[in-house]
Structure 1
Amino acid sequence: MTRQIHTGGCQCGAVRYQATGEIGFPHVCHCRMCQKAAGNYFMPFGGVTHENFKLTRGEPTWFQSSESVRRGFCGKCGTPLFYDGGSDHISITLGSLDEPESVKPDLQTNLARKMPWFGDLDSLRHDGSFDMSPEDDASVASSSRQHPDHDTAIWPMEKRN
């Protein structure tokens, strides 16, 4: 059996991790605590056992968000990364994966706090005049300080000329 390896990390690259095997319980949490931790309307998570998880660069900063839960994030850029409820696994924010499309949530939790209009998002009109052009993408990429979606030997990269 092939063991799948998932890598990920924060926006600036100071904290990187690796998870081996299937990421279990992929879900979207709508609770108010996750909304605040993400600065968003929900937070997607999936878990791996501690034995299948390792940090590969840096150390997260931890915030004890309740008596039983601590949340790990990058102390340099603020990216939410982990949810540790003290059990045999650690939950990873699915958006911090290098390939977030590789893990599809299969359920939602805490629907009492879900935004009542959330199901209408796909019907919002789209104004393409605000989309980035290929030239805009290239310009942003040439000056980006965001870590790429793959492991690097060192980070931050040397300043570009």
Structure 2
Amino acid sequence: MTKQAGGCQCGAVRYRARGELGYPHICHCRMCQKAAGNYFLPLAAAMREDFELTRGAPKWFRSSDLVRRGFCSDCGTPLFYDIPGANFINITLGSLDEPDAVKPVMQSSTGRKMSWFHAIDSLPVEPQPETPDRENAIAASNHQHPDHDTKSWPFGERL
């Protein structure tokens, strides 16, 4: 059985879903844009009986009378789009430990899609990658939770 795990950037909230994630899609609606702080929000559904929180608990914001959105109250990572009473919960695909493993199959609310998205691949690419010194400095001071479950977090005195 497929297992997908994920969590927030700081590691305070972790989750696991068993089975395939349903309807992986990209939502362009204005509420998802605001909730993600981005141009769109990739989501997929986990059946509630196959979903569990494995560390911490999200804070919830009711973005409408029909929907609440779960996020980490420590680091702010958007994690869930929840319709109370439904038999599933939507997980933000960027919060998965392996986000490349779930490919969206649909887009929704495309009336709010950025008009210039078609031109992204034609944008110039920064000519130089990070310098080794800067990469090492970032790695040595990284407070982000790793992309896998840990028995405890934070490690040692990191945070």
Amino acid at match of 2:48: H
Structure 1 unmatched runs, 5+? none
CA offsets per residue over residues 5-56 of structure 1, 9 Å max, x none?
1110000000000000101100000000000000000000001110000000
TM-score scaled by structure 1? Answer: 0.94
Aligned pairs, number: 157
Deviation at 1:153, TM superposition (A): 0.5
Q: Distance in 1 between matches of 2:11 and 2:44?
A: 21
- Give ranges in structure 2 of 5+ residues lacking alignment: none
Q: What letter matches 2:157 in structure 1?
A: K
Q: Distance in 1 between matches of 2:106 and 2:31?
A: 18
Alpha-carbon offset, residue 138 of structure 1: 2.5
Corresponding letter in the other structure for 1:24: G
The corresponding residue for 1:88 is: 87
Q: Distance in 2 between matches of 1:89 and 1:81?
A: 14
Q: Distance in 1 between matches of 2:132 and 2:52?
A: 36
User: Which residue identity lines up with residue 151 of structure 2 in the other structure?
Assistant: A
Encode CA deviations 1:91-123: one digit per residue, 9 max, x unaligned: 000000000000000110000000000111111
* Map of 1:139 onto structure 2: 137
Q: Distance in 1 between matches of 2:126 and 2:32?
A: 30
Cα distance in 2 between the residues matched to 1:88 and 1:116: 34
| One-letter amino acid of the counterpart of residue 11, structure 1 | Q
Name the SS of the counterpart of 1:119 in structure 2.
helix
Q: Which residue of 1 aligns with 2:98?
A: 99
Shift of 1:134: 4.0
What is the alpha-carbon distance in structure 1 between the residues aligned to residue 32 and residue 139 of structure 2? Answer: 30
Matching residue's letter, 2:107: Q
Of all paired residues, the percent bearing the same amino acid is 58
SS at match of 1:34: helix
Aligned CA-pair RMSD: 1.0
In the alignment, which residue of structure 2 is the partner of 1:31?
A: 29
Picking from 13, 16, 31, the partner of 1:15 is 13
Aligned to 1:124: 123
Q: Which amino acid aligns with 2:92?
A: T
Runs of 4+ deviating beyond 3 Å? none
Rounded to whole Å, the distance in 2 between the matches of 1:38 and 1:72 is 11
Distance in structure 1 (CA, Å) of the matches to 2:106 and 2:37: 21
